[in-house]
Amino acid sequence: MAKVLVVTSGKGGVGKTTTTAALGAALAQSGQNVVVVDFDVGLRNLDLVMGAERRVVFDLINVVQGVAKLPQALIRDKRLENLWLLPASQTRDKDALTDEGVGRVIDELRSRFDWILCDSPAGIERGATLAMRFADEAIIVTNPEVSSVRDSDRIIGMLDSKTVRAERGERVEKHILITRYDPARAARGEMLNIDDILEILATPLLGIIPESQDVLKASNVGTPVTLNNADSAPARAYTDASRRLMGEEVAMVVPAERKGFMDRLLGRRAA
Amino acid sequence: MDVRADPTRQLVRLRGRSYVAFVFSPVVPIVDWLAEIDATLARSPGYFVGKPIVLDLAAVDLSGAAIAHLVGSLNERNIRVLGIEGVDEERLGGNMPPLLTGGRACVITRNEPAQKAEPEAKPKPTSLLLDSPVRSGQSIVFMEGDVTVLGSVGSGAEIVAGGSIHIYGTLRGRAMAGVNGNSSARIYCQRIEAELLAIDGYYQTAEEIDVSLRNRPAQARLEGDTMKITPLN
């Protein structure tokens, strides 16, 4: 059964694209057939983070409008043969996407892949609503700060009302992924703590990704962080999150200030 | 063979039938009386539609032109006059309703279909129950009565209720109760971190809510012109 997973947040700059690339690569590493789809038409980034920017010929808009066939637009990753990218157009804008067109492309992707990861643009407008429209599951990427948490709350409300599943009376399964978690600042009380975030959002936790230079390094060389340095703290946190997505029980780790951040095992399997 | 029967003479049969008509008895000044009619129509428009109406002019002494004007005024209000009583026939012009005589008073039985249908309609619900959290950006408006939320109300969400608001969770957004002018409406929540509370137009913003009340179960009510927020239990 193919699963359509939207990576969304409302707020910009919280790590949606990084998360899409890292989880896509982690799922592909464990043998799943994965495609990552960039919905950020006009401001595409996923091709850069995946290191495929020099191989883009056709894009999502071309496929939606029927100018190109899906296989022409799909780009295979050079490192993992079962990881693919469907890039966005940089020259068009989000109005070029249509409901039916996107639905048709998603249906076609469902027949080819196990996981379809949709990288949503920031905001709550057309691009973001279309990215979540056909989702079965959603990852809400949240930073431990009030503005990000409130935007996430808004996005959860939209997932519960504006998706095809919601309109059919079904649920979109939702997960919170806390990114850019800084243990030092959390210890000083400068960030929202994880319990507060989960209490506000009333949604299960998928993982906590620590703030790390490794993330920036990986995007600069165009490699998903899970492939660039698999032993780094963010890579391990993303790999754990991908295993939870596949239904495995993995103990939740709250990154701690000291080097051995595995110290504090919470054992909490999401609220 | 062609058989031709003589055409039988069709008899014009005259049958009698009686109907119940509303009788209007105008009084002077006619302008004031028409105002009364207008008031009735304002309360229930269409009340006279399709009803036979008879004008009884016995109580007033109107000229032919005045009667024509009165009938015209009623026509403007969609009241069609079936006939006129209590006036000399010569005062009625050719295109006026005919003169009627020999009417008998009777009780008007009301059997309008609109009234029959009413008991079938279910009474409107007077409370709204939401069993999921209200998320940021959502606005719940229920003017008919109370709103109950099983879950939290997010920052940037709002609940607007004609009656009271009950929140079994944390209230982080706005709650506006008694918006129809119901000053006895109240707001209850299990944890108060509200951005704004309002009852019947009187409001308090987060800044004005006492810090000592925060993060506790609380209720808000109106006492005269002031909003009282007190801890529950």
pLDDT for A267 beyond 50: no
**B172 contact residues in A (CB cutoff 8 A):** 200
Indicate the pTM of the whole model.
Answer: 0.69
Cis geometry, peptide bond prior to residue B52 (ω within 30 degrees of 0) = no
Between B49 and B113, the more confident residue is B49
Q: List pLDDT tens digits, range B83-109.
A: 888 877 777 777 777 887 777 777 766
Between B124 and B3, the more confident residue is B124
Question: Which range has the worst mean pLDDT, A25-34, A139-148, B9-18?
Answer: B9-18
Average pLDDT for A238-267: 77
Interface size between A and B, measured as CB pairs under 8 A: 40
**Looking at residue B123, what is its pLDDT?**
83
Average pLDDT for B179-189: 94
* Partners of B171 in the β-ladder: B153, B192
Q: How far apart are CA B63 and CA B69, in angstroms?
A: 10
Q: Which residue of A has its CA nearest to B172?
A: A200
**Looking at residue B11, what is its pLDDT?**
66
**Looking at residue A30, what is its pLDDT?**
95
A129 vs B: CB within 8 A:
no
Distance of CA A20 to the CA centre of its chain: 3
Q: Do A153 and B132 touch (CB under 8 A)?
A: no
Q: How many CB atoms lie within 10 A of CB B131?
A: 9
Q: List pLDDT tens digits, range B34-64.
A: 888 888 778 777 777 777 788 888 878 778 7
Q: What percent of chain A has pLDDT over 70?
A: 94
**Looking at residue B95, what is its pLDDT?**
74
Which residue's structure tokens are 């243990």? A183
The DSSP result for A16-82, as a single string, is: HHHHHHHHHHHHHHTT--EEEEE--TTS--HHHHTT-GGG--S-HHHHHTTSS-HHHH-EE-SS-TT
pLDDT for A261 beyond 50: no
**Looking at residue A127, what is its pLDDT?**
92
**B195 contact residues in A (CB cutoff 8 A):** none
B151 vs A: CB within 8 A:
yes
**Looking at residue B9, what is its pLDDT?**
66
B152 vs A: CB within 8 A:
yes
**A196 contact residues in B (CB cutoff 8 A):** none
Q: How far is CA A248 from CA A244, B69, B126, in A?
A: 5, 89, 46
Average pLDDT for A130-137: 96
pLDDT for B110 beyond 60: no
* Partners of A119 in the β-ladder: A7, A38
Q: List pLDDT tens digits, range B123-159.
A: 888 899 999 999 998 999 999 999 999 999 999 999 9
CB B26 within 8 A of CB B70: yes
Contacts of A97 (CB under 8 A, 6+ apart): A39, A41, A60, A61, A64, A126, A127, A130
Q: How far apart are CA B196 and CA B8, in angstroms?
A: 89
pLDDT for A162 beyond 60: yes
**Looking at residue A1, what is its pLDDT?**
82
SS3 B165: strand
Task: State yes or no: ipTM above 0.90.
Answer: no
Q: Do A202 and B136 touch (CB under 8 A)?
A: no
